Structure 1
Amino acid sequence: MRAKVLLGGLVSAMLLTLIGVAAGPASAQQSLRLQYRTSAAGGTADQVEPWFDLVNDGASAVPLSGVRIRYYFKADPGASQYRFACSWAVVSCSTVTGTFGTIAPGTATADRYLEVGFTSGNLAAGARTGDLQLRFHRSDWQRITQSDDHSFGPARTTYGDWTRVTVHRNGALVWGTAPTGGDPSPSPTPTVTPTNPGGGGVVFDDFTYGTSDDPALTAHHWTVRTNSGGPGVPGATWPKENVTFPTVSGANKALQLRADTDGTGAGTRQSEVLHQRKFLEGTYAARVKFSDAPVSGPDGDHIVQTFFTITPLAFDMDPDYSEQDFEYLPNGGWGEPGNIMYATSWETYRNEPWEAVNVHNEVRQSYAGWHDLVLQVSGGRIRYYIDGALFAEHGGVYYPETAQSVNFNLWFISGGLVGSSAQRGYVQQVDWFYHSKNEVVAPAEVLNRVTGYRFASTAWVDTVPSP
């Protein structure tokens, strides 16, 4: 819900210590080979720009979801935060992920790494991914010294084999040489067994309500927010009438949130709907319609469209706080110039002065239209799916510890309104919400279950125990 800031220094102290081993180049029978070039060859640069081309020399296809590429570097003094971006990729940036990790103990040339992964796709035998044009920068946009980085090759301005970047497949090193004494080899993606398959209770809501004052809405444990405060534009209100239940197709209704503004705090109205705090492990899902443009008035405001879970912050840096967010910013914000989708997992934060402990993945593209969002929280891992594809995976200190509520809200970023007094408004719609307590449900199976409820004309069910 807030600016995406990763405090590497603080997070480093909380991460599990990773035991390093020296890693040599992959053996001849291994199929994957990495080629590298840089488009920023200077010893210092505004951004580090490693470009990759992954080659499959084997006789069978390789699922890219099990592949991780690690680029090792030395953090600059005073720099604890880095941001990743995919500029362009033959396989599509929407399938490319980038996260940062810490090496403990570090070496003279590496105490951090950028780990690049893929959410989907297969690399056929004899094929290559083609360009993966990647970059990362300091969050404060200060210049980066890369001349002392393990993986940097200043003379590599055209593609060629490069063993100072490692490739891992299903957790095993298959190419490259990590910094001696500093290789935190990734573990295979864990197979999560449901802790209580289908037996912890479910919540399903098809949002067949009349208005935001419908007594059934309250009876089903939903609250339409009306109290003042953040997030968003200071002075904004959260009126009930900004939450409606229009018919979206045939007889099918949806929850609709509206946010509108005339460019002033007093003239800004936002909306939020939340469920009671009784959720923790299990599967959360919703079908959400995002929008890139206002339904009326000038475009360009920094608007945030969301589906998230949250435990309230009791005090600054409260260790029991948690939050898992899907956040879509159609017009950018927080330094981003345009469409961006975030999946963010939070450990804690402090408002004044701002300090946050979170981890996030992002994709820069339009997500206008309907999307199936699935969040799995189980076995120490948090997985975010969009339309059946894995979007992000987090764990460690970001895993939630206490009961959370489920929320949808629509709000404007403070300082992000366009300079116009013309009235404009945005909407976000939610077709349905589903939760299965203590069960990992695959995205396809979620849709099967929702279809079953609708076939049986079941508009609402809640068997998850209340707190």
Structure 2
Amino acid sequence: MPSETRRPRTSRRLLLGGLVSALLATTIGVSAAGPAGAAQSLRLQYKTSATGATADQVEPWFDLVNDGPSAVPLSEVKIRYYFKADSPSQQYRFACSWAVISCSTVTGTFGAISPGTASADRYLEVGFTSGNLAAAARTGDLQLRFHRTDWQTTTQSDDHSFGPARTTYGDWTKVTVYRNGALVWGTAPAGGGPSPSPTPTVTPPPGGNAGVVFDDFAYTNSDDPNITAHKWTVRTNSGGPGVPGASWPKGNVSFPSIGTGNQALQLKAVSDGTGAGTQQAEFLHQRKFLEGTYAARVNFSDAPVSGPDGDNIVETFFTITPLAADLDPNYSEQDFEYLPNGGWGEPGNIMYATSWETYRNEPWLAVNVHNEVRASYAGWHNLVLQVSGGQIKYYIDGALFAQHGDIYYPETVQSVNFNLWFISGGLVGSSTQRSYVQQVDWFYHAKNEVVAPNEVVNRVNGYRSAATRWVDTVPAP
């Protein structure tokens, strides 16, 4: 891709499941209050997995206990962790790494305390969307964390709720619990009166269909002028991803007949085991895509069409926003990636669906979430990606494969890409040239519309019945 640099995954991948993010709410006061009395039923236990005075992420882990005689609806409960911001303008993002009750039910927002104290001018408020905490029961682990939006180190030694010695769960009154707005556990920092819960700002996606793109890939060859007219690019520039020194020849993109009366986009990658002898391929559309439905019918291969097998090859369909700088918060990427021979520590064929918030090259830090299935995906498959309402859904052949959201939801316009490349360090020890191919029968996008996988196929069949090979009514940004 002309302006983007991809990178391999490593075992240091930061995988944060079920994340929820929110911008800093308006300034809100919090009252000083003593620990809840014996009549109160809720009790909060705390420990931390990040005990240093400074940390990449603050990691408060909670276990909420119901000592009362009846169940408590968790939707009535808020937990507040108080801290001192590193600067007045600094913003933070919340993450639920794992929870016994499921991260999908856990929310996180940030509020401010005015006037602040020496140990607190902000708080993280943790809430729940559903569930009941039975009498004499506990939630079990709520493994939470939050970090600065610029991913710089945060100081936590001066935070009101931080307990560096708390490496095992124990009662902790420096974190408060509210039920229906009333303090029932813990001591809040001194300040104003009790505050309402902060409400995160949610911007709904624009509704309705705002254009479509359909391409049947009826091109003569990689020099066909209609490719450029239709805003596609055949990549020829050097650089990542893949084997250092590899080239991206224009001729590695072609449009053969696939025996069904249709043509397909075909990507070819070849290697003789050296960087200079390695060629990769990529075909990409302009940046103008964000919310809506993306779909493609893709033919994955488990073996080369010639030469020895075993290279770590990556066969892809993805969307991406360029990385402007390390940990760029506007970066995004949603990937279907099939590795027929494994790679990134995997020994055999594996399909990934990965959503990216951002990353840093040196030292490597990946902020993404993924799902995977270890199985062969050789052959034709319908891939559908839905991006709408804060959720990213990946479908393969009509079945939901993965669902992500929160900080991984894209924020800026993206390009659509298909590429075929070798993982650096993943070539087999042979000088015999081998050649791999990936084919794409069609591509479809509906802007600002969630289209079910079966309806995508119906629409594509409608275009083909009408002999329509190309449509683009999505405006450029």
Q: Name 1:196's counterpart in structure 2.
A: 207
Write the distance in 1 (CA, Å) between the matches of 2:272 and 2:205. 49
2:381 is the counterpart of 1:384: no
Q: Give the SS at the match of 1:249.
A: coil
Q: Give the SS at the match of 1:232.
A: coil
Shift of residue 104, structure 1, vs aligned partner: 5.2
Q: Give the SS at the match of 1:106.
A: strand
**Shift in alpha-carbon separation, 1:374–1:181, aligned structure 2, 3 A:** closer
Shift of residue 352, structure 1, vs aligned partner: 1.3
Shift of residue 194, structure 1, vs aligned partner: 8.0
Alignment of 1:60-71 (within 5 A): none
Alignment of 1:188-227 (within 5 A): 195-198=206-209, 200-227=210-237
**Shift in alpha-carbon separation, 1:178–1:271, aligned structure 2, 3 A:** farther
Contact in 1 for aligned 2:271/2:278 (Cα 8 Å): yes
**Shift in alpha-carbon separation, 1:403–1:217, aligned structure 2, 3 A:** same
For 2:8, which of 3, 9, 17 is the aligned residue? 3
* Cα distance per residue 1:434-460 (max 9 Å; x no partner): 000000001011001001000000000
What's the TM-score once normalised by structure 2's chain length?
Answer: 0.63
Contact in 1 for aligned 2:305/2:437 (Cα 8 Å): yes
**Shift in alpha-carbon separation, 1:450–1:13, aligned structure 2, 3 A:** closer
Q: Which amino acid aligns with 2:233?
A: T
Shift of residue 466, structure 1, vs aligned partner: 1.1
Q: Which amino acid aligns with 1:316?
A: D
Contact in 1 for aligned 2:49/2:61 (Cα 8 Å): no
Q: Give the SS at the match of 1:287.
A: strand
Contact in 2 for aligned 1:103/1:182 (Cα 8 Å): no
**Shift in alpha-carbon separation, 1:418–1:463, aligned structure 2, 3 A:** same
Q: Give the SS at the match of 1:247.
A: coil
Q: Name 2:347's counterpart in structure 1.
A: 337
**Shift in alpha-carbon separation, 1:77–1:409, aligned structure 2, 3 A:** farther
Matched positions, count: 330
For 1:275, which of 285, 289, 305 is the aligned residue? 285
Write the distance in 1 (CA, Å) between the matches of 2:419 and 2:391. 25
**Shift in alpha-carbon separation, 1:452–1:264, aligned structure 2, 3 A:** same
Shift of residue 108, structure 1, vs aligned partner: 11
What's the TM-score once normalised by structure 1's chain length?
Answer: 0.65
For 1:286, which of 286, 296, 300 is the aligned residue? 296
Write the distance in 2 (CA, Å) between the matches of 1:9 and 1:266. 32
Write the distance in 1 (CA, Å) between the matches of 2:18 and 2:131. 26
Q: Name 1:53's counterpart in structure 2.
A: none
Q: Which amino acid aligns with 1:3?
A: P
Q: Name 1:106's counterpart in structure 2.
A: 62
2:190 is the counterpart of 1:179: no
Contact in 2 for aligned 1:194/1:440 (Cα 8 Å): no
Alignment of 1:159-178 (within 5 A): 172=131
Q: Name 2:466's counterpart in structure 1.
A: 456
Q: Give the SS at the match of 2:352.
A: strand
2:325 is the counterpart of 1:315: yes
Shift of residue 179, structure 1, vs aligned partner: 3.5
Alignment of 1:352-431 (within 5 A): 352-431=362-441
Write the distance in 2 (CA, Å) between the matches of 1:413 and 1:183. 33
Write the distance in 2 (CA, Å) between the matches of 1:12 and 1:260. 36
Shift of residue 14, structure 1, vs aligned partner: 7.4
Write the distance in 2 (CA, Å) between the matches of 1:385 and 1:454. 22
Shift of residue 356, structure 1, vs aligned partner: 1.0
Contact in 2 for aligned 1:7/1:355 (Cα 8 Å): yes
Write the distance in 2 (CA, Å) between the matches of 1:104 and 1:13. 16
Contact in 1 for aligned 2:100/2:140 (Cα 8 Å): no
**Shift in alpha-carbon separation, 1:105–1:466, aligned structure 2, 3 A:** same
* Cα distance per residue 1:256-293 (max 9 Å; x no partner): 00000000000000000000000000000000000000
Shift of residue 249, structure 1, vs aligned partner: 1.5
Shift of residue 181, structure 1, vs aligned partner: 8.1
Q: Give the SS at the match of 2:335.
A: strand
Shift of residue 2, structure 1, vs aligned partner: 3.6
Contact in 2 for aligned 1:304/1:410 (Cα 8 Å): yes
Q: Which amino acid aligns with 1:197?
A: G
Shift of residue 196, structure 1, vs aligned partner: 2.8
Shift of residue 10, structure 1, vs aligned partner: 9.4
Write the distance in 1 (CA, Å) between the matches of 2:468 and 2:420. 28
Contact in 2 for aligned 1:381/1:395 (Cα 8 Å): yes
Runs ≥4 residues deviating over 2 A: 1-17, 73-78, 102-109, 111-117, 170-184, 193-198
Alignment of 1:19-34 (within 5 A): none
**Shift in alpha-carbon separation, 1:112–1:461, aligned structure 2, 3 A:** closer
Write the distance in 1 (CA, Å) between the matches of 2:392 and 2:444. 17
Identity over aligned pairs, percent:
68
Write the distance in 2 (CA, Å) between the matches of 1:342 and 1:286. 16
Shift of residue 228, structure 1, vs aligned partner: 0.1
**Structure with larger Rg:** 2
**Shift in alpha-carbon separation, 1:181–1:424, aligned structure 2, 3 A:** closer
Contact in 2 for aligned 1:288/1:431 (Cα 8 Å): yes
Write the distance in 1 (CA, Å) between the matches of 2:133 and 2:382. 35
2:302 is the counterpart of 1:302: no
Contact in 2 for aligned 1:74/1:108 (Cα 8 Å): no
Q: Which amino acid aligns with 2:262?
A: N
Contact in 2 for aligned 1:243/1:255 (Cα 8 Å): yes
Contact in 2 for aligned 1:4/1:334 (Cα 8 Å): yes
Contact in 2 for aligned 1:6/1:356 (Cα 8 Å): no
2:453 is the counterpart of 1:443: yes
**Shift in alpha-carbon separation, 1:354–1:296, aligned structure 2, 3 A:** same
Contact in 2 for aligned 1:306/1:409 (Cα 8 Å): yes
Contact in 2 for aligned 1:238/1:269 (Cα 8 Å): yes
